[in-house]
Amino acid sequence: MIPATADNQNKDAFRLFNEGRYRESLALCYRLLETTRDPALEVLAATNLFSLGKTEDAEVYFRDLARKMPESSHVHSYLAKVLEQRGDDGAIAEYAAAVRLDPDNQDALRSYAASLIARKDDRGALPVLKRLYALGKRPDDCRHLTAALTRTGRAEEACALYQSPGAGLTKSREYIGALCAAARYHDAADEAQVLCDETNDPAIHRLYLAALARADAAGAPGAYASFLKEKSDPLIYLDYTLILQERGEYLRALATVKKLIAIDGRPEYRLIACELSAALGDHANALLAYENLIREALDAPCPPETLRQILRSYSGYIRTQFPPGEARARFLALVPSDTNVVSLLETAQMYREQGDTGEARSWYYRAYRADYLNGGLPYAEFLASQEDDRECEKVLLYILANVRKLTDLSRVAVAVTKKDGSPDRMRRLTGELIRRLEERREMLGSAERECLAAAYLNAAADALSREDYAACMRNCLCGIDVLPAYSRDCRSDDFLILIHRTKEQMLTDCPVVNAPRTEKKVDSRRPVQALCDVMALSEPEQKILTFLATHGRASETDLRRLLGSRRVAGIVNLLIRKAAAQGIMLIEKKGMSAEGEVYEYCGT
């Protein structure tokens, strides 16, 4: 038999992959890569690893390929998929790189848009979804675009998209949602009724009834009651309860919510029952229901936001029914004064609303000590309301220095940038916020980028007040650069106004964009011990790193002898991942040999 040519074997590897036979395709890739370094085969091997669920090995391969093939959209897209499966914030930056390199890569665009929407970054997803729909005109892409437009307050644009000539789109939940958001309730009800008949989907029935409640307020209660006679849907029971409550029909609302509680007794539904009993003047039952609900919510796991709503509602209720001292005593007797941050914050809020700011401050501080983030942000807000800027800045700086997750950093950024007052009141805090956000700039969503732009705007205004014109111009240009599309509060005009005022006040031209810079040459190679300390390496990892740094290159067999273990591949993969998380490229895989994989130290 004549052996297959390399070209035919390559085709076989791709054919096996396309047939879903990933293990066989991977084995063939490994065999071929022993004699050739074909980049297409390397990418295929990494993709096979991902498809087999070997995400750690796939990540190492894709990171190596991204360094060797930085212009490959496919490589960045798959590296993003791997990181996303691990919950790594770096996934969003890799998706962004993939679509920058190939704006027509529909798989990358679709994954990027889905990732942005999962992060609730609809503003960031809009340009991507618009590009996707323009490329393929797929109905599912149109539905996602319609929903994102609606969620970002562009309901009329969403309706126009569906109604555009040649769109040929069928009715959908997203279109009905857009019609409701555009206050076109009659149209929404008509569209939903047709879709209800076609699908019999309870979610569509809910949309239909919600639209009908706005289009025909008098007939809506009857429609809800008729539906609930046939089907017991908790969310439709909830909507019906809220409509009756809004209409002031508290007795019917209470009867309806009791039926809902019989189906689903979650705390937020029971809270509605408490509030309805109070509205009906049945204070004995209302007080008993409130207190039983709070005891159960404190004993059983309850989401913090739900517990906060319950305590806030109870506090407001007892303040209307009892003198301040008695209301306070009831609250303190029921709500524990331990390390439950929600209880501490609501106790502080109660004192604050009663005008006792000294006691309120004490409880806010206890909440801060119990949870530096969830208790610290409300404490900082209280300090700002008391014009204690020095302590407020100190607290926010501590929080900013200790947050690690991007979602937590985002919360702090929002808290800092929404503060009013002159820009110089918290100069250190603004500078530190800019530094922390710039560290993760590639991972920031639209909300975080707008916070960063707002911080630059504050820094620019502060620089102008100090007549530091170069700093003002630089901060304005940086702010415009980072400002996202579809920004809400911060506008490019805000920066242009400052630039115009700066130009008017400058006595001489001060270059910013092309200002001369002097850069020091830095040796990029790091001492091995320093690397071990930075990455907190285990003893086997330190041995491997030291060996590679000394010898430059080693095979898998060499490292097995060094460690006396066969688990070398997994340890090296983990070592590469730890280095990548620190932004360091330490070890490069150089292919297969008769003694297993070959690793080379780069140490940069």
The span from the CA of 410 to the CA of 405, in Å, is 9
- Classify 601 as helix, strand or coil: strand
Q: Do 441 and 489 reside in the same domain of the chain? A: yes
Question: In sequence order, what E strands does 189-328 have?
Answer: none
> pLDDT category, 336, cuts 50, 70, 90?
confident
Quote the radius of gyration of the chain (alpha carbons, Å). 30
| Contact in structure between 41 and 29 (CB atoms under 8 Å) | yes
Q: Do 490 and 411 reside in the same domain of the chain? A: yes
Averaged pLDDT, 362-375: 95
Give residue 472's pLDDT.
Answer: 94
| Contact in structure between 33 and 42 (CB atoms under 8 Å) | yes
Q: Do 505 and 532 reside in the same domain of the chain? A: no
Q: Do 484 and 415 reside in the same domain of the chain? A: yes
Residue 56 lies in a domain: no
The span from the CA of 230 to the CA of 496, in Å, is 60
Q: Residue 167: pLDDT above 70?
A: no
Give residue 421's pLDDT.
Answer: 53
Q: Residue 378: pLDDT above 70?
A: yes
Give the model confidence (pLDDT) of 535-568 as tens digits.
778 888 888 888 888 878 888 888 888 888 877 7
Query: Number of folded domains in the chain?
Result: 3
User: Greater confidence, 592 or 20?
Assistant: 20
| Average pLDDT of the chain, as a whole number | 87
The answer to which of 53-57, 292-296, 406-410 has the lowest mean pLDDT is 53-57
Averaged pLDDT, 120-128: 94
What distance, in Å, lies between the first and last C-alpha atoms of the chain?
49
Give residue 3's pLDDT.
Answer: 39
Q: Do 457 and 546 reside in the same domain of the chain? A: no
The span from the CA of 510 to the CA of 488, in Å, is 31
- Runs of H (alpha helix) within 418-555: 427-439, 446-465, 469-482, 492-505, 528-535, 539-551
> pLDDT category, 4, cuts 50, 70, 90?
very low
Q: Do 456 and 537 reside in the same domain of the chain? A: no
Paired sense of beta strands 587-593 and 553-555, if any: unpaired
Give the model confidence (pLDDT) of 60-72 as tens digits.
889 888 888 899 9
- Helix axis angle for 234-246 and 267-279, nearest 10°, is 20
Q: What percent of the chain has pLDDT over 90?
A: 56
Give the model confidence (pLDDT) of 393-446 as tens digits.
999 999 999 998 889 999 999 999 876 555 556 789 999 999 999 988 988 999
> pLDDT category, 139, cuts 50, 70, 90?
confident
Give the model confidence (pLDDT) of 222-272 as tens digits.
999 998 988 889 999 999 999 999 999 999 999 999 999 999 999 999 999
| Predicted structure pTM score | 0.78
Residue 14 lies in a domain: yes
Give residue 581's pLDDT.
Answer: 66
- Give the CATH number of the domain where residue 594 resides: 1.10.10.10
The answer to which of 216-225, 255-264, 571-580, 588-597 has the lowest mean pLDDT is 588-597
Give residue 32's pLDDT.
Answer: 87
The span from the CA of 196 to the CA of 350, in Å, is 47
Averaged pLDDT, 197-218: 88
565 φψ region: left (φ > 0), alpha (ψ -120 to 50), beta (else): beta
Residue 73 lies in a domain: no
Q: Residue 77: pLDDT above 90?
A: yes
Domain ranges, residue 42: 1-51
523 φψ region: left (φ > 0), alpha (ψ -120 to 50), beta (else): beta
- Classify 437 as helix, strand or coil: helix
Q: Do 489 and 410 reside in the same domain of the chain? A: yes
> pLDDT category, 533, cuts 50, 70, 90?
low
Give the closest residue to 95 by CA, choosing from 86, 105, 87. Answer: 105
- Classify 598 as helix, strand or coil: strand
Residue 208 lies in a domain: no
Give, as one character, the DSSP assignment of residue 158: H
Q: Do 489 and 540 reside in the same domain of the chain? A: no
Q: Residue 120: pLDDT above 60?
A: yes
The answer to which of 197-211, 506-520, 561-575 has the lowest mean pLDDT is 506-520
Give the closest residue to 449 by CA, choosing from 417, 473, 493, 423. Answer: 417
Which residues, 6 or more positions from 73, have their beta carbon under 8 angstroms from its beta carbon? 97, 98, 99, 101, 102, 105, 108
Q: What phi and psi, each to the nearest 5 degrees, are found at residue 171?
A: -65, 145
Residue 300 lies in a domain: no
CA 231, 234, 235, 239 torsion: positive or negative? positive
- Classify 596 as helix, strand or coil: strand
Averaged pLDDT, 304-322: 95
Single-letter amino acid code for the residue at 576: I
Burial class for 371, CB neighbours closer than 10 Å (0-12, 13-18, 19+)? middle
Give the model confidence (pLDDT) of 175-198 as tens digits.
999 999 999 999 999 989 888 888
Give, as one character, the DSSP assignment of residue 554: E
Q: Which of 444, 474, 509 is the last residue of a domain?
A: 509
Residue 279 lies in a domain: no
- Classify 587 as helix, strand or coil: strand
The most confident of 5-14, 167-176, 474-483, by mean pLDDT: 474-483
DSSP assignments along 396-437, one per residue = HHHHHHH--SHHHHHHHHHHHHT--S-GGGGHHHHHHHHHHH
Q: Do 458 and 532 reside in the same domain of the chain? A: no
Residue 111 lies in a domain: no
Angle at 39 between CA 33 and CA 40, to 5 degrees: 95
Give residue 524's pLDDT.
Answer: 43
Give the closest residue to 124 by CA, choosing from 444, 387, 347. Answer: 444
Tokens of 551: 């010898």
The span from the CA of 426 to the CA of 95, in Å, is 35
Please report how many Cα atoms fall inside a 13 Å half-sphere around the Cα of residue 270, on the Cβ side. 24
Q: Residue 459: pLDDT above 50?
A: yes
Specify the DSSP element, H or E, that contains 589. Answer: strand 587-593
Give the closest residue to 63 by CA, choosing from 83, 37, 35. Answer: 83
Q: Do 482 and 443 reside in the same domain of the chain? A: yes
Residue 504 lies in a domain: yes
For the chain, the residue count is 604
Q: Do 409 and 504 reside in the same domain of the chain? A: yes
The span from the CA of 414 to the CA of 417, in Å, is 5
Q: Do 593 and 545 reside in the same domain of the chain? A: yes
Give residue 1's pLDDT.
Answer: 30
Give residue 146's pLDDT.
Answer: 93
The span from the CA of 525 to the CA of 195, in Å, is 64
Give residue 604's pLDDT.
Answer: 53
**Tokens 């993939």, residue?**
98
